[in-house]
Amino acid sequence: MITFEEAKKTFDKYDSSFSKMLQEGTIRENKLVLKWVADEANRKQREIAGLEN
């Protein structure tokens, strides 16, 4: 599981610019951040829907 700290560290490396990260970052870095965003969105949706304790 990707932690917030890992994603934040990678994202901060590109001055917190999503566009800059996508253009200048490696595929691995882009996947890491996007995976964290997707996992977090899914977690919040499950929480809202009451599917998670």
Q: pLDDT below 70 — which residues of the chain?
A: 52-53
- Which pLDDT does position 24 carry in this prediction? 95
- Tell me the whole-structure pTM to 2 decimals: 0.80
- Which pLDDT does position 53 carry in this prediction? 60
Residue type, 7: A
**Residue 42's domain spans which residues?**
4-49
- Which pLDDT does position 39 carry in this prediction? 95
Residue 25, sorted as left (phi over 0), alpha (psi -120 to 50) or beta, turns out to be: beta
Domains held by the chain: number: 1
